[in-house]
Amino acid sequence: MKKLYILFALCFGFLAMQGQKLKSTEYFFGNDPGVGNAIQISIN
């Protein structure tokens, strides 16, 4: 039964990670200009 719980936890964790996709990011040097105000990078 313990192996079943571990298998369920691993499967659930894998499915939860699949839902997160990175669409874009941004970077800056020095002070943080705030969300959306830095140099944006597109990710395809």
Q: Domain residues of the chain, as ranges? A: 2-42
- CA geometry: angle at 17 spanning 13 and 23, to 5°? 175
Identify the sign of the CA torsion 37, 41, 43, 44: positive
- The pLDDT tens digits for 1-44 are 888 888 877 777 766 666 667 777 888 888 888 888 888 887 76
Lookup: tokens for 42: 């597109």
Question: pTM of the entire structure?
Answer: 0.38
CA distance from start to end of the chain: 43
Closest CA to 25 of 9, 13, 41: 41
What pLDDT sits at residue 24? 78
What pLDDT sits at residue 19? 62
